[in-house]
């Protein structure tokens, strides 16, 4: 396992949509292990493969909050959000936007269909933080970033803050 470098905005590779995963092998498992280690080291609750420069439709999530809480590690490969209901406003951060936190509107509940590390299909209904994390990471594999969900003034301020940080 290895900690990978997380791409930061405005890196253009963050805009690249992920390609479907077709092969479920040891190489994929190694990537998933690296993604988990990278996410935990950051620390974050989710990480998409596109955030580490791997243009595949993969993301990992663990919404457990604290060392005394059991891990809730989940792998989503080739995910599809098949249903969204309700609305929630959530303060989100992003490993590709260090230090930036923004209130964003998301669906309160989602149903997602995806494959696990062995290629087995599953469906999951999620709400609250897990639903938000799924939508956030799904955006990443579509080449969409949290800054795209901001209004024009907040978007300009966030862009300037990230440009200043990268200078």
Residues with a catalytic annotation lie at: 137
Nearest to 53 by CA among 22, 12, 94: 12
Cis peptide bond N-terminal to 43, omega within 30: yes
| Burial call 57-88: b when 16+ CB within 10 Å, e when fewer | bbbbbbbeeeeeeeeeebbbbbbebeeeeeeb
Query: Which of 45, 47, 63 minimizes the C-alpha distance to 14?
Result: 47
Distance, in Å, from the CA atom of 13 to the CA atom of 36, rounded to the nearest integer, reads 20
CA–CA separation, 112 and 64 (whole Å): 19
């Amino acid at each position: 396992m290895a900690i990978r470098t997380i791409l930061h905005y405005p890196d253009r590779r963050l805009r690249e949509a992920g390609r479907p995963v077709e092969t479920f092998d040891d190489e994929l498992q190694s990537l998933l292990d690296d993604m988990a280690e990278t996410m935990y080291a950051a620390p974050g609750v989710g990480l998409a493969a596109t955030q580490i420069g791997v243009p595949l439709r993969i993301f990992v999530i663990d919404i457990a909050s604290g060392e005394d809480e059991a891990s809730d590690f989940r792998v989503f490969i080739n995910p599809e959000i098949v249903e969204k209901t309700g609305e929630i406003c959530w303060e989100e951060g992003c490993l590709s936007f260090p230090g930036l936190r923004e209130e964003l509107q998301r669906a309160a509940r989602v149903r997602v269909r995806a494959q696990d590390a062995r290629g087995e299909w599953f469906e999951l209904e999620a709400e609250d933080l897990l639903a938000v994390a799924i939508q956030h990471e799904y955006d990443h594999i579509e080449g969409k970033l949290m800054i795209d969900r901001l209004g024009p003034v907040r978007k300009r301020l966030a862009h300037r803050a990230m440009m200043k940080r990268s200078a």
